[in-house]
Amino acid sequence: MAINVNTVYKTVLLILNQQQRGYMTPDEFNKVATQVQLDIFESYFESLNQQYRVPQNDTEYADRVKNIQQKLQFFQRQTVSLYSPLDNAFPVIVPPGEVLYRLGSVFYKGKELTQYSQRNELTQILLSPLTQPTEHFPIYLYENDVLEVYPQSIQSDISFSYLKKPSDVVWQYGVGSLGQFEYQAPPASTAFELAPSEQTNIIMRILAYAGVIINDPTIIQVAQQEIAAEQQNAKQ
């Protein structure tokens, strides 16, 4: 379940007003919200790296790693790569509307391939009769957004997993008869793609960009309750 962009924006505006810290236009909000989402997304990788550096023999460690991995699940994708005779390789292209953030694993007929990250290392592998790849044990090099798969007799059945970059957050609006901004629901607007548990964190970070530091998360919870009550009253 996505985090409602309208709820977040209204909460931010309410708290800015309560703190007498001015106003944030929809365009300003969209820019800051997109950056905050990306900041939180990228923090997951640093958190994982920190966890991998600590002792791994306790249940608490496993729970922390699992929690981060679950937050990244929404961004995990897998797609097929079509062979390009021009490049003699497989271009890494993701579906329209998505941006590649990080390449995951590469597969040939569903079997994960071994990656070689250095071209000189790959050259040594290819030159040795003992280590030359075969269609049963293929290898690949990822460089310049293409997958060089060896042996080069392989020209199909290649797929790869990847993490997509979070989509830009958009609070889309029209202008009412009195000049007010009027929210337009999805698909015109684009919700946050982070896990629902990140909603308070998102709001606190957006407020921090606006110069408002919230040390007590209950302030945000109260503001959201006020907004929910207003929305309920509006429906009646």
pLDDT over 70 percentage in the chain = 95
Q: How far apart are CA 36 and CA 67, in angstroms?
A: 20
Q: What share of the chain is helix, strand, coil (3-state, %, to 5)?
A: 40, 20, 35
**Token pair recorded at residue 108:** 């040939």
The more confident residue out of 55 and 222 is 222
Q: How far apart are CA 187 and CA 29, in angstroms?
A: 18
pLDDT band for 236, please (50, 70, 90 cuts): low
Please state the domain extents for the chain.
5-42+168-230, 76-164
Mean pLDDT of 94-117: 95
User: Which pairing describes strands 90-91 and 146-150: parallel, antiparallel, or unpaired?
Assistant: antiparallel
Strand partners, 147: 90, 142
pLDDT band for 49, please (50, 70, 90 cuts): confident
Q: How far apart are CA 225 and CA 9, in angstroms?
A: 14
Nearest one of 235, 231, 216 to 10, comparing CA atoms: 231
Strand partners, 150: 139
Strand partners, 182: 174
Distance between first and last Cα of the chain: 26
Range scoring the smallest mean pLDDT among 85-89, 126-130, 162-166, 187-191: 126-130
**Token pair recorded at residue 192:** 């946050």
pLDDT band for 226, please (50, 70, 90 cuts): confident
Q: How far apart are CA 25 and CA 95, in angstroms?
A: 32
pLDDT at 57: 62
Mean pLDDT of 81-106: 96
Residue 56 main-chain phi, psi, to 5 deg: -110, 25
Those residues with Cβ within 8 angstroms of residue 205's Cβ, 6 or more apart along the chain or in another chain: 36, 39, 40
User: For residues 100 and 165, is the Cβ–Cβ distance under 8 A?
Assistant: yes
pLDDT at 232: 76
Neighbour-count burial of 234, counting CB atoms closer than 10 A to its CB (0-12 exposed, 13-18 middle, 19+ buried): exposed
In the predicted model, is pLDDT for residue 180 greater than 90? yes
Chain-centroid distance of CA 73 in Å reads: 9
Those residues with Cβ within 8 angstroms of residue 160's Cβ, 6 or more apart along the chain or in another chain: 78, 79, 81, 92, 103, 104, 105, 106, 107, 147
pLDDT at 42: 97
In the predicted model, is pLDDT for residue 52 greater than 80? no
3-state class of 129 per DSSP?
coil
Nearest one of 77, 112, 80 to 97, comparing CA atoms: 77
- Residues 185-212 pLDDT 10s: 999 999 999 999 999 999 999 999 888 8
Range scoring the smallest mean pLDDT among 41-50, 78-87, 169-178: 41-50
Residue type, 227: I
pLDDT band for 1, please (50, 70, 90 cuts): confident
- Residues 138-179 pLDDT 10s: 999 999 999 999 999 999 999 999 999 999 999 999 999 999
What predicted TM-score, i.e. pTM, was given to this entire model? 0.86
